[in-house]
Structure 1
Amino acid sequence: MPLLATHVGSLPRSQAVVDQLFARERGEDHDPAAFDLVMAEAVHEVVRRQTAAGIDIVSDGETSKISYATYVKDRYTGFGGDGPRTVPADLKLYPTFLDRLAMSGTGPKFARPMCVGEVRPKDQDALRKDIANLQAAMAAHGAERGFMNAASPGVISLFLQNAHYPSREAYLAALADAMKSEYQTIVAAGLDLQLDCPDLALSRHMLFTNLSDDDFVRVAQSHVEALNHALSDVPAEKIRVHICWGNYEGPHVCDIPMARMFDTLMSVKARYVLFETSNPRHGHEWAVFRDRAADIPDDKVLVPGVVDTTTNFVEHPELVRQRLDRFVDIVGAERVIAGSDCGFGTFAGFGAVDPEIAWSKLAVLGEGARAAG
């Protein structure tokens, strides 16, 4: 039986979508009805293209979100001002490369406010519109299974840092309580819930560079505890968790190894585990899963990233199949789904991969999945 194919969630936005998102981001006057129409039409198109590419478990491409973490500033109270921009430690080691990135002007520019007050949901109007758009597009294009992304408490704390609560732990607890209803609403709608958790790896070389690896693992475990609390009323079989080291082309020489994060990752209350295996810094780490096979809970489904999301190489479907078969040999075909390393449109309007090449990569992902197993 061929493997199913999915991806991490974010996909390239059309220029019409980008224009609407940044008009709202800059506080410009815009027509809410026109905004909603553009988003609905774009989600229909993004789902159509996913099904045409052979993707079995589709998303809305995070179409209406400016980014996978900072969208919460628009849907929750307590955020304001402008927070610090933290440069990853690996880029600091190569200042000429960092300068080149700065001069290229290709980095995303959007608000990263601080937490300056109590975090509470405003309402769920935007979330319900997202759900309705995805459900309508799935029905129109015959997609039987869909998922929706949501930020984890830990990743919110990474990008929207705390200037209100008395401690990091208190901030995480508040975020976990605030996000509960979003998680529950997504699953109640019949969709799978994906939690984006780069804080479990990326934050090691962004926010916690002064810690030892052991100390960082303890911090990451506290993030998992907050997340699991937020998921207490959501069944594990409806939950996906994604870990990554940062969706950017760079040296990544400061990344904490998967071997150090394996136990933390496996402790998340999620059946589906999405992780990177295609980029050159982490391509070898499939062996961690082989060597720790006995420690992978029986209810976990592995979703390795078998196409890279930071280069414009289009992988050969045979390479995709080979990458997938490594994991099939570890846990069996029924517990492997083909995925991507990260998203193709992490920040609206920005991405290293040309949009049409991104769609070609997804088609190759689907082709490789059908040949694997």
Structure 2
Amino acid sequence: MKKIPVTHVGSLPRRQSVVDYIFAREREEEFDQAGFDDCMTRAVSATVKRQVDAGVDIVSDGETSKISYATYVKDRYTGFSGDSERNAPADLKLFPGFLERLANEGGTPQYARPMCTGEVVSKGQGELEKDIANLKAGMAEHGAEAGFMNAASPGVISLFLQNSFYPSRERYLGVLADAMKAEYETIVDAGLILQLDCPDLALSRHMLFSDLSDAEFVKIAHQHVEALNHALSDIDPARVRVHICWGNYEGPHVCDVDMATVFPVLMKTRAQHLLFETSNPRHAHEWTVFRDRSREIPDDKILIPGVVDTTTNFVEHPQLVAERLTRFVNIVGAERVQAGSDCGFGTFAGFGAVDTDIAYAKLASLAEGAALARSAV
């Protein structure tokens, strides 16, 4: 029987030498570009090997060279400068003691979030092409047959790199969609699967739009999807994955928008593969949304539920992984399910709750659980 493919959301813990180079560039310090490039090549190769060894079928470069999954665009596009004030998620504001503890313990990542202060224009695809070459070389070296590469969605860029230049948020989204279109197409043209990171479709509800009603937020989320779909208009949806989440942090998450509320928005994305959280304790019950609204899931959609968590160092038992996957197999069939993680393990360089070795132990358990789930069908 054909196995349930194993993958994950993308980012993985970075080795210290990588982090040192990334932050030298972030602080605009002098660094050896040739040394930087060599470090990234070697690190991506090692990251691909660890994924293959863990049983991951569809691998990534771990987002090795990026400072974060969203703000990396400031290094590849013009129009961004300075920094912006931090706005804590609404749920953390409700528990100020916990928020203070996180800050005191270094539980919040430190990196620049510049504003959009000028025209957004691509600086070229040179950095992306290096990332693609590193991933493809690592795949060839270690026998990985399929790979994907992350890219920021227009919506998530607008969330973390907010607009102070264009006349409206809608105009800013449109500009971002036009600018990112070439990046998306470059990834697919290289033979890789494109993954769009879209936490703006859920996380932004309690980060940026907490003063709105759910209905008002859903209208904004639909605008984000329209911008994204425009940027994807010339790409086969079968080569596209979209990831939605409520924020990759340990916290109460009591302000999260329900999956049922954003479900129609997610289904309208021009992507065949959908990645979403189901291990998050605040949303683990929401697999029932997919069961109860299965008729609203287009026949071509492939579901990639997150069946291992990325905010704790518990290693899920393979039988639990299998149970979580089986729920979705029973909804859409084994051929339309892949095994994934809730979010990335290293969404920000040098920051992550999960120990590196434990992250790969979780991926190994994910692979074992996927095999159990398939054998039970």
Bin the TM-score by the shorter chain: over 0.9
Q: Which amino acid aligns with 1:298?
A: D
How far the C-alpha of 1:158 sits from its partner, in A, is 0.1
Deviations 1:150-201 (A, max 9, x none): 0000000000000000000000000000000000000000000000000000
- Segments of 5+ residues of structure 1 without an aligned counterpart are none
How far the C-alpha of 1:371 sits from its partner, in A, is 1.4
1:315 aligns with 2:316: yes
Q: Which residue of 1 aligns with 2:288?
A: 287
Q: Which residue of 1 aligns with 2:216?
A: 215
| CA–CA separation in structure 1 for the residues paired with 2:31 and 2:141 | 28
| CA–CA separation in structure 2 for the residues paired with 1:76 and 1:83 | 18
| CA–CA separation in structure 1 for the residues paired with 2:252 and 2:55 | 32
Q: Which residue of 2 aligns with 1:73?
A: 74
Q: Which amino acid aligns with 1:132?
A: A
Q: Which residue of 2 aligns with 1:226?
A: 227
Q: Which amino acid aligns with 1:355?
A: T
1:20 aligns with 2:21: yes
Q: Which residue of 2 aligns with 1:172?
A: 173
Q: Which residue of 2 aligns with 1:9?
A: 10
How far the C-alpha of 1:284 sits from its partner, in A, is 0.2
CA RMSD of aligned residues (A): 0.5
Q: Which amino acid aligns with 2:252?
A: P
How far the C-alpha of 1:107 sits from its partner, in A, is 1.7
| CA–CA separation in structure 1 for the residues paired with 2:357 and 2:146 | 24
1:118 aligns with 2:115: no
Deviations 1:221-272 (A, max 9, x none): 0000000000001110000000000000000000000000000000000000
Please list every run of at least 4 consecutive aligned residues from structure 1 whose deviation after the TM superposition is greater than 2 angstroms.
none
Q: Which amino acid aligns with 2:334?
A: A
| CA–CA separation in structure 1 for the residues paired with 2:57 and 2:359 | 16
The 5 A counterparts of 1:248-259 are 248-259=249-260
| CA–CA separation in structure 1 for the residues paired with 2:342 and 2:301 | 18
| CA–CA separation in structure 2 for the residues paired with 1:118 and 1:26 | 23
- The size of the alignment, in residue pairs, is 373
Q: Which residue of 1 aligns with 2:350?
A: 349
Counterpart of 1:24 in 2: which secondary structure?
helix
Deviations 1:53-102 (A, max 9, x none): 00000000000000000000000000001112110000000011011111
| CA–CA separation in structure 2 for the residues paired with 1:170 and 1:101 | 35
| CA–CA separation in structure 1 for the residues paired with 2:268 and 2:127 | 31
Q: Which residue of 1 aligns with 2:137?
A: 136
How far the C-alpha of 1:106 sits from its partner, in A, is 3.1
| CA–CA separation in structure 2 for the residues paired with 1:287 and 1:46 | 35
Q: Which residue of 1 aligns with 2:303?
A: 302
| CA–CA separation in structure 2 for the residues paired with 1:257 and 1:223 | 18
Q: Which residue of 1 aligns with 2:31?
A: 30
Q: Which residue of 2 aligns with 1:277?
A: 278
| CA–CA separation in structure 2 for the residues paired with 1:335 and 1:138 | 24
Q: Which residue of 2 aligns with 1:183?
A: 184
Q: Which residue of 2 aligns with 1:62?
A: 63
How far the C-alpha of 1:372 sits from its partner, in A, is 1.1
Counterpart of 1:372 in 2: which secondary structure?
helix
| CA–CA separation in structure 2 for the residues paired with 1:70 and 1:250 | 22
Q: Which amino acid aligns with 1:343?
A: G
Q: Which residue of 2 aligns with 1:193?
A: 194
Deviations 1:303-333 (A, max 9, x none): 0000000001000000000000000000000
| CA–CA separation in structure 2 for the residues paired with 1:278 and 1:70 | 26
Counterpart of 2:299 in 1: which secondary structure?
coil
| CA–CA separation in structure 2 for the residues paired with 1:342 and 1:161 | 23
Deviations 1:258-293 (A, max 9, x none): 000000000000000000000110000000000001
For normalisation by structure 2, the TM-score amounts to 0.98
Q: Which residue of 1 aligns with 2:44?
A: 43
Q: Which amino acid aligns with 1:254?
A: C
| CA–CA separation in structure 2 for the residues paired with 1:219 and 1:83 | 22
- Segments of 5+ residues of structure 2 without an aligned counterpart are none
Deviations 1:94-122 (A, max 9, x none): 01101111111232111100000110100
| CA–CA separation in structure 2 for the residues paired with 1:155 and 1:97 | 26
Counterpart of 1:29 in 2: which secondary structure?
coil
Q: Which amino acid aligns with 1:300?
A: K
Q: Which amino acid aligns with 2:268?
A: S
Q: Which amino acid aligns with 2:96?
A: P
